[in-house]
Amino acid sequence: MQLAEAKQQFISSWGAFGTQWGINRTMAQIHALLLISTDPITQDDIMEQLSISRGNVNMNIRDLISWNLVERVILPGERKEYFTAEKDIWKVATQIIKERKKRELDPMLKLLGQLQQVEGDKKDKETKQFVEMVGSIKKLGTQADKVLDSLIKAEENWFTMNILKLFK
Amino acid sequence: MQLAEAKQQFISSWGAFGTQWGINRTMAQIHALLLISTDPITQDDIMEQLSISRGNVNMNIRDLISWNLVERVILPGERKEYFTAEKDIWKVATQIIKERKKRELDPMLKLLGQLQQVEGDKKDKETKQFVEMVGSIKKLGTQADKVLDSLIKAEENWFTMNILKLFK
DNA sequence: ATTATCTTTCAATATATTTTGAAACTTCAG
DNA sequence: CTGAAGTTTCAAAATATATTGAAAGATAAT
């Protein structure tokens, strides 16, 4: 396979992969393009390579920046803005985990905590089932939260890094 | 908060949560409803409780069954089909991990393997960057694959279960 | 201060996904 | 075999999401 074809494959698959994870196709494709670009590139480069509009690039780049996956770069003596992506894939992964945890898991745990406070007789079959289910989901979520936190901090954390190596 | 309201909250939040993970809202809501139902329920029950059409229930139930999260139950002497969800939340989680791994991670790793075979001079900056990026994503994916496999088998696996307890 | 270059916004449009509901299909009791 | 009860299918409609592109907003050079 030639490089050009392989790049296309990578970008398009990354996009498809993204949609399965609730990330929009274009955002994932832009990210993919940046991951395999050696140097920072401009909005126009992205527009051209992915055949998408200026507005679309702009909005999705902004999103990627809010996820801390992409940065603006100003090249000295250049008028245009350039963009570049974090290339260390472990950092990319932990960054995504960190953001999703904050945006999704944390609020969910908060809600479950509230739902546990439901009034009513714990002897009632329905109430009992509800409270137990909410409780067990919360427990699992809390445990996941801890594991993910360790993972995010794994670099500074000899212990977690070594535990990871035990899985083989 | 009263039970009825809490249930509604739970179902609706579970649905919203699902959409952020590429699962359709209704499928997640049906699953939520089944999770907090003490006894098996029918398509009509689901239609009524979630105010959705018969066809919609039928398709999403089918999907949930294909994910091994829900089962058909035939009650003796009844004509209707009943449905029930796995209530052990750990099993639910590992089941979802197992399926997503099979449907997404495994194919992705296969593709990355192919992309690593790209022809061209490894001295070329662009080629080098591409091969390295694909390689490092593949490496991370492979490691994740191992960890998730252990997790799926954790119940039968004293070692993993105990490692999990170390995260706190 | 003016102009050229570049970025951002957002209403309108296009696309993709989900939902409906009625017809076709299946199954079983009598 | 026939009819009632239940299930499935899928084209059309509704809804949700993503994209465009042109106008407005910045910014910097002259």
Question: What percent of chain A clears pLDDT 70, i.e. is strictly above it?
Answer: 99
pLDDT in tens, chain B (168 residues): 899 999 999 999 999 999 999 899 999 999 999 999 999 999 999 999 999 999 999 999 999 999 999 999 999 889 999 999 999 999 999 999 999 999 999 999 999 999 999 998 889 999 999 999 999 999 999 999 999 999 999 887 888 888 888 877
- Closest nt to residue B59, judged CA to C1': D8
- Answer left, alpha or beta for residue B143, where phi above 0 means left and psi between -120 and 50 means alpha: alpha
Whether residue A72 has pLDDT greater than 90? yes
* Integer angstrom CA distances of residue B1 from A119, A125, B12: 6, 17, 15
Which residue has its C-alpha nearest to nucleotide D7's C1'?
B58
Cβ contacts of A129 within 8 Å, gap of 6 or more: B36, B37, B38
Q: Using 50, 70 and 90 to split pLDDT, how confident is the model at A160?
A: confident
Of B10, B22, B136, the CB nearest to A19: B22
A104 in contact with chain B, both atoms CB, cutoff 8 A: yes
- Closest nt to residue B22, judged CA to C1': C17
A142 in contact with chain B, both atoms CB, cutoff 8 A: no
Burial of A154 per CB tally in 10 Å (0-12, 13-18, 19+): middle
Concatenating the DSSP letter of every residue in A82-139 gives EEEE---HHHHHHHHHHHHIIIIIHHHHHHHHHHHT--S-TTSHHHHHHHHHHHHHHH
B136 in contact with chain A, both atoms CB, cutoff 8 A: yes
Cβ contacts of B134 within 8 Å, gap of 6 or more: A10, B112, B115, B116, B118
Q: What residues are paired with A85 via a beta bridge?
A: A70
In this prediction the pTM is 0.94
Q: Using 50, 70 and 90 to split pLDDT, how confident is the model at A58?
A: very high
Q: Using 50, 70 and 90 to split pLDDT, how confident is the model at A124?
A: very high
Contact A86, A95 (CB under 8 A): yes
